[in-house]
């Protein structure tokens, strides 16, 4: 593509060339349908089973606990709507900082008569045990809190929250889409019944993901059909994507430590520069993913800065959601009690395995230049 520097790895990641190689045969030759009994079908089934083992190994789960889905959104929806559909009405409690794949699925349960509660976060974006305990004073059937936030990178103590949910007899789900590949994720240690994963955040292909599920949980599928994935996700499997996801998981585990060290060194370099430029870094005192920095500068619009940086060849994300005629500040920052004016300035740099320290250094120089230019423009306008 272009020679632009890509700093939006929480949005999506580039396909690892080794993953592409592993996928190619499943895209270019007749591989059969995994439900068929002939040799082609058996080959496809074996490939899926190998990927199932790779995903399970990467997150400390048993292969039988892996349900392949069409991505993280579907895994979140299956975890929430699937459980809700298996019982009549109830009460669900979710974190205030959840991704829309969780929060909108929970919102939709209200149409089925479910009650919805939000669990507060503190100013660092952490869900404290006391906040969950407060919400659980009322009988609650289901709890969902993400393992790591996509905007701030703040990591939650899911093992403790999961234990509290279990003490109260609630089913516990965590969205680990952003955590996978960036920190160690161990399903068996997290005290959860279900955990969502996505392939394209770890240099695998888009359109594949998984729900890791405690087999004792009663769940209704979102899709009915041929009974694939233990009848929890019917439909002919996307074999190439599943194969790619499996290998991406294996590579993320094998190379996790060195990737995490490199990311954290680059993030340290970045944030040192950001501090010198006067940035506010959100969630800075909390434990965070090693690749993510979410920050703002007083008086500078996030969207404007994102576009200015894009013109200079740096792809970063803003923290705002653009609706038809307004720019809404990030719901995550508002839930953390950040002033809406400052929140409107938020931009996110999310580093990845293809980034280099030289790119971070070049980014800081460009950022300084653009900030000076934008401040001059603002001063003239005033």
Q: Is 69 in a helix, a strand, or coil?
A: strand
How many chain residues bind ligand PLP (CB under 6 A)?
14
**Least separation, in Å, of the C-beta of 138 and ligand PLP?**
26
Show the binding pattern over residues 186-215: x = contacts ligand PLP (CB under 6 A), - = does not: ------------x-x--------x------
- Give the residue, chosen from 52, 91, 99, 344, that forms a contact with ligand PLP under the rule CB under 6 A: 99
Q: For residues 158 and 192, give the distance between their C-alpha atoms in angstroms, rounded to a whole number.
A: 8
Which pair of structure tokens corresponds to residue 104? 């909108």
- Does residue 355 belong to the site contacting ligand PLP (CB under 6 A)? no
Positions in 21-60 near ligand PLP (CB under 6 A)? none
Helix axes 72-85, 100-109, angle to 10 degrees: 20
Helix then strand then coil, in percent of the chain rounded to 5, is 45, 15, 40
- Give the residue, chosen from 101, 165, 247, 306, that forms a contact with ligand PLP under the rule CB under 6 A: 101
User: Applying CB under 6 A, which part among 52-60, 82-90, 175-183, 263-271 lies near ligand PLP?
Assistant: 175-183
Which C-beta is closer to ligand PLP: that of 150 or that of 355?
A: 150
Task: Count the Cβ atoms, other than its own, within 10 Å of residue 370.
Answer: 19
Q: For residues 295 and 281, give the distance between their C-alpha atoms in angstroms, rounded to a whole number.
A: 4
Show the binding pattern over residues 136-155: x = contacts ligand PLP (CB under 6 A), - = does not: ----------x---x-----
- Give the residue, chosen from 121, 156, 178, 293, that forms a contact with ligand PLP under the rule CB under 6 A: 178
Structural element, H or E, at residue 292: strand 292-296
Cα torsion angle, 27, 21, 46, 48, sign: negative
**Least separation, in Å, of the C-beta of 282 and ligand PLP?**
16
Q: Is 322 a catalytic residue?
A: yes
- Enter the DSSP assignment of 382: -
Place of tokens 């789960």: 61
Which C-beta is closer to ligand PLP: that of 209 or that of 246?
A: 209
Which pair of structure tokens corresponds to residue 320? 């705002």
- Give the residue, chosen from 141, 175, 229, 370, that forms a contact with ligand PLP under the rule CB under 6 A: 175
Rg (CA), the chain: 21
User: Applying CB under 6 A, which part among 20-28, 54-62, 173-181, 307-315 lies near ligand PLP?
Assistant: 173-181
User: Applying CB under 6 A, which part among 46-54, 72-80, 243-251, 330-338 lies near ligand PLP?
Assistant: 72-80
Cα torsion at 161, 166, 169, 172 (round to 10°)? 60
- Does residue 286 belong to the site contacting ligand PLP (CB under 6 A)? no
Q: For residues 213 and 62, give the distance between their C-alpha atoms in angstroms, rounded to a whole number.
A: 10
Phi, psi of 357 (to 5 degrees): -55, -30
User: Applying CB under 6 A, which part among 42-50, 171-179, 322-330, 369-377 lies near ligand PLP?
Assistant: 171-179
Which C-beta is closer to ligand PLP: that of 195 or that of 371?
A: 195
- Does residue 180 belong to the site contacting ligand PLP (CB under 6 A)? no
Q: Is 48 in a helix, a strand, or coil?
A: helix
Decide: 328 and 377 in contact? Cβ < 8 Å.
no
CA of residue 2 relative to chain centroid, distance: 26
From the candidates 322, 356, 372, 373, which is the catalytic residue? 322
Which C-beta is closer to ligand PLP: that of 237 or that of 370?
A: 237
User: Applying CB under 6 A, which part among 135-143, 172-180, 232-240, 275-283 lies near ligand PLP?
Assistant: 172-180
**Residues in contact with ligand PLP by the rule CB under 6 A:** 71-73, 76, 99, 101, 146, 150, 175, 177-178, 198, 200, 209
Return the active site residues.
322
């Amino acid at each position: 593509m272009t020679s632009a520097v890509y700093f939006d790895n929480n949005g999506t990641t580039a396909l690892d060339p080794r993953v592409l190689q592993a996928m190619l045969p499943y895209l270019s030759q007749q591989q059969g349908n995994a439900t068929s009994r002939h040799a082609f079908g058996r080959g496809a089934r074996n490939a899926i089973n190998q990927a199932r083992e790779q995903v399970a190994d990467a997150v400390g789960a048993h292969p039988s606990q892996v349900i392949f889905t069409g991505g993280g959104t579907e895994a979140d929806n299956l975890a929430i709507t699937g459980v809700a559909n298996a019982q009549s009405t109830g009460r669900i409690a979710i974190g205030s900082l959840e991704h829309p794949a969780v929060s909108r699925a929970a919102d939709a349960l209200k149409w089925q008569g479910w009650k919805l509660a939000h669990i507060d976060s503190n100013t660092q974006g952490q869900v404290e045990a006391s906040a969950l305990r407060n919400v659980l004073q009322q009988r609650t059937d289901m709890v969902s809190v993400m393992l790591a936030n996509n905007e701030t990178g703040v990591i939650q103590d899911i093992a403790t929250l999961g234990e509290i949910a279990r003490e109260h007899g609630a089913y516990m789900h965590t969205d680990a889409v952003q955590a996978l590949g960036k920190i160690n994720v161990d399903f068996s240690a997290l005290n959860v019944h279900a955990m969502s994963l996505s392939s394209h955040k770890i240099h695998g292909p888009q359109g594949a993901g998984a729900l890791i599920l405690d087999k004792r949980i009663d769940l209704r599928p979102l899709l009915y059909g041929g009974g694939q994935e233990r009848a929890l996700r019917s439909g002919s499997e996307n074999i190439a994507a599943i194969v790619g996801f499996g290998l991406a998981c294996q590579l993320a585990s094998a190379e996790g430590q060195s990737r995490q060290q490199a990311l954290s060194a680059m993030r340290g370099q970045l944030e040192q520069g950001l501090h010198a430029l006067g940035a506010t870094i959100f969630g800075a005192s909390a434990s965070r993913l090693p690749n993510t920095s979410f920050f703002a500068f007083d008086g500078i619009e996030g969207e404007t800065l994102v576009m200015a940086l894009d013109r200079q060849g740096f792809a970063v994300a803003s923290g705002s959601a653009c609706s038809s005629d307004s720019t809404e500040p990030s719901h995550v920052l508002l839930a953390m009690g950040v002033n809406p004016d400052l929140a409107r300035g938020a931009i996110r740099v999310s580093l990845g395995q293809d980034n280099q320290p030289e790119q971070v250094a070049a980014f800081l120089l460009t950022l300084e230049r653009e900030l000076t230019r934008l401040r001059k423009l603002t001063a003239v306008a005033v």
